[in-house]
Amino acid sequence: MNWLEFSSSSLGVAFFLYVFATIFYMVAIAGKKWGKKDPKLHEARWGKIAFITSTLGLVAHLLFFFTRWIGSGQIPTSNMYEFITLLGMTIMIAYTIIYFIYKKLLLGMFALPLAIIVIAYASVFPSDVQPLVPALQSHWLKIHVTTAALGEAFFAVGFAAALMYLLRTIDFKDKTKNGKRAQRWLEFTLISILVVIGFIIAAFGFKGAGYTASFQQENASVSQLGEISTTTETVEYTMPPIFKPYNSEAIEVTPFLGMTDGLFETPSWFNGVNSGRKLNTVVWSIIVGLLLYGIIRVIIRKPLGAAIHPALEGIDPDDLDEISYRAIVIGFPIFTLGGLIFAMIWAEEAWGRFWGWDPKEVWALITWLYYSAYLHFRLSRGWQGKPSAWLAVIGFVIVLFTLVGVNLLIAGMHSYAGVE
Partner 1 sequence: MLLPVNTKCECGHQNAVGTVLCESCGKPLEKELLESNEPLEMRYDGVARRSQKANPDYLDKIWNFFSSVKIAIYLIIITFVGAMLGTIFPQASTFISSTFDPSVYYAEQYGLPGKIYYFLGLHRTYTSWWFITLLVMIATSLVICSIDRVLPLYRALSKQQIRKHHAFLKRQKATYSTTLAEDEAEWTKQYGQALRKKGYKVFVDESGTALLAEKNRFSRWGPYINHIGLILFLLAVLARSIPGWNVDQYVSIADGDTVPIVGTNYYVKSEGFKIELYENEELPEELKDSGRIKSFKTEVVLYECSANCNDDFEQPTLTEVHQHTILVNDPLRYKELKLHQFDFNLTPRINAVSPMVVNVQTGESYGPFHLKMVEPELHYEVGPYTLELIDKYMDFAINSEGEPITLSSSPNAPAFIFNIKGPGLAEAGEVFMYFPLEKDKVRFSQDTINRELANKVAIKVEGMENVDFSAATTHLNVRIDKAIKYLWIGAVISMIGLVMGTYWQHRRIWLRIDDQQLTLGAHTNKNWYGLRADIAYALKHCGIELDPKSLDNGGHKG
Query: Binding residue for partner 1 (CB under 8 A) from 271, 298, 299, 301?
Result: 271
How many residues can be counted in the chain? Answer: 420
Report how far residue 64's alpha carbon sits from residue 66's, in angstroms, rounded to the nearest whole number.
6
Residues 186-245 that bind partner 1 (CB under 8 A): 222, 224
Contact 244, 274 (CB under 8 A): no
Q: In this complex, which beta carbon is closest to partner 1, that of residue 251 or of residue 411?
A: 411
Count, residues near partner 1 per rule CB under 8 A: 59
Return the number of the residue (205 or 333) whose C-beta is nearest partner 1.
Answer: 333
H or E element at residue 43: helix 39-72
Q: Is 284 in the site for partner 1 (CB under 8 A)?
A: no
- Among 151, 38, 172, 24, which Cα is nearest to 94's? 151
- Which residues, 374 to 413, sit near partner 1 by CB under 8 A? 376-377, 379-381, 406, 410-412
Stretch that binds partner 1, among 41-49, 62-70, 276-284, 363-371 (CB under 8 A): 363-371
The verdict on 330 binding partner 1 (CB under 8 A) reads yes
Residue 341 within binding range of partner 1, rule CB under 8 A: yes
Reference 246, options 232, 225, 226, 227; nearest CA is 232
Q: How far is the CB of 112 from partner 1 (least distance, A)?
A: 22
Residue 314 C-beta: closest distance to partner 1, Å: 13
Is residue 329 part of the contact set for partner 1 (CB under 8 A)? yes
DSSP structural state of residue 105: T
Cβ atoms of 279 and 299 closer than 8 Å: no
For residues 58-85, one letter each, b for 16 or more C-beta atoms within 10 angstroms of the residue's C-beta and e for the rest, the string is bebbebbbebbbebbebbbbbbbbbbbb
Rg (CA), the chain: 23
Using CA of residue 24, residue 400, residue 155, residue 370, what is the dihedral sign?
A: negative
* Upper half-sphere CA count for residue 13 (Cβ side, 13 Å): 18
Question: Using CB under 8 A, which residues numbered 30 to 49 contact partner 1?
Answer: none
Amino acid type, 146: T
Please report how close the Cβ of residue 385 comes to partner 1 at its closest, in angstroms. Answer: 10
Q: Among residue numbers 107 through 136, which ones bind partner 1 (CB under 8 A)?
A: 126, 128-131, 133-135
Q: Interface residues with partner 1 (CB under 8 A)?
A: 101-102, 126, 128-131, 133-135, 137-138, 140, 222, 224, 269, 271, 316, 318-319, 322, 325-326, 329-330, 332-333, 336-337, 341, 344-346, 348-354, 357, 359, 362-363, 365-366, 369-370, 372-373, 376-377, 379-381, 406, 410-412
